[in-house]
Amino acid sequence: MEDFFDLYRKDRWPTIFCPGCGIGTVMNCFYRAFSELELDQDRVVFVSGVGCSSRIPGYIRADSIHTTHGRALAVATGINLSRPDLKVIVFTGDGDLGAIGGNHFIHASRRNADMTVFCINNNIYGMTGGQASTTTPHKAYSTTTPYGNMEYPFDLAELAVTAGANYVARWTVRNVKELIGSMKRGLMKDGFSFVEIASPCPTGFGRRNKMADPRQMYEWLKIKSVRKEKSQLWEMDPVDLNIRGQITIGEFVNRQRPSLASMLRGMKTDVRPGR
């Protein structure tokens, strides 16, 4: 890549993102990670579902496919298996990945499908006007939880660890240095790498939860986030953890289980069972 700005599709500016939205920060951290690794724009393919977070590939000068809502990982797995020479990078949201695409998420993690997934978790369906998602905190308000959310949220990073992903980390948009580092490690990892980014949606989430000013949302992320080393995550009752609305940040796993593509490469395709 000639220079950092080569990656931006300036012809598409301004972006659709609202003032104070965290998606722009994620996008900039990604540009930084990608260019510092000196990756080749012509050897990657970007995949996304539907949502504000899923719009990121539209602002990157490289090949991309904007799939249907929730199906990004299914399409990404197909691309990986048919073109293992390409690096597959997915941008998704908590709704796209954790709700309608939840099953694909579990199984792509379990299979260690070769791809890097960046999930922007803004605790809400931003694009469609602020409905509750699988990561909306307990008691939080949304258009579909006007009396407060009675459900408890999913922990997406923990789910990926448990399902078997090779690399899992979570940061907030405040932790830009750590985020860029994790993005780089994720991009260089074989198998399924997952980076969750807690990010503000002042329009869909903040306005209904007394944080209409984006600065209040950044302060909220600061108060809620606890480094993994200090969180005693594993000793805590998950219900207790969810009530506190804690965002545990850090790198949770970095291991080397065989990836889906490497397992298929090693398979003896000429020997069929029963022959």
Ligand X SMILES: Cc1ncc(C[n+]2csc(CCOP(=O)(O)OP(=O)(O)O)c2C)c(N)n1
Binding site for ligand X (CB under 6 A): 50-53, 69, 93-96, 120, 122, 124-128, 133, 201
Q: Binding to ligand SF4 by residue 98, rule CB under 6 A? A: no
Question: What minimum distance in Å lies between the beta carbon of 103 and ligand SF4?
Answer: 24
Give the one entry of ligand X, ligand SF4, none that residue 203 binds, where binding means its C-beta sits below a cut-off of 5 to 8 angstroms depending on kind: ligand SF4
SS3 98: helix
Q: Binding to ligand SF4 by residue 157, rule CB under 6 A? A: no
SS3 117: strand
112 vs 122, beta carbon nearer ligand X:
122
Question: What minimum distance in Å lies between the beta carbon of 74 and ligand X?
Answer: 13
Q: What are phi and psi of 24, to 5 degrees?
A: -60, -40
Give the one entry of ligand SF4, ligand X, none that residue 17 binds, where binding means its C-beta sits below a cut-off of 5 to 8 angstroms depending on kind: ligand SF4
The residues near 40 (Cβ < 8 Å, ≥ 6 apart) are 1
Question: What minimum distance in Å lies between the beta carbon of 84 and ligand X?
Answer: 27
Q: Binding to ligand SF4 by residue 136, rule CB under 6 A? A: no
Pick from 185, 177, 170: which is nearest to 224 by CA?
Answer: 170
Q: Binding to ligand SF4 by residue 126, rule CB under 6 A? A: yes
Q: How many residues bind ligand SF4 (CB under 6 A)?
A: 12
Axis crossing angle, helix 72-82 with helix 102-111, rounded to the nearest 10: 30
DSSP 8-class letter at 99: I
Task: Give the up-direction half-sphere exposure of residue 73: CA atoms within 13 A in the CB hemisphere.
Answer: 29
Q: Which residue has the tokens 């307990």?
A: 138
24 vs 84, beta carbon nearer ligand SF4:
24
Q: Binding to ligand SF4 by residue 204, rule CB under 6 A? A: yes
Q: Binding to ligand SF4 by residue 23, rule CB under 6 A? A: yes
Pick from 22, 29, 92: which is nearest to 55 by CA?
Answer: 92
Pick from 116, 71, 162, 158: which is nearest to 259 by CA?
Answer: 116
CB 163 within 8 A of CB 117: no
Q: Binding to ligand SF4 by residue 21, rule CB under 6 A? A: yes
Question: What minimum distance in Å lies between the beta carbon of 154 and ligand SF4?
Answer: 18
**Residues near ligand SF4 (CB under 6 A):** 17-18, 21, 23, 52, 122, 126-127, 201-204
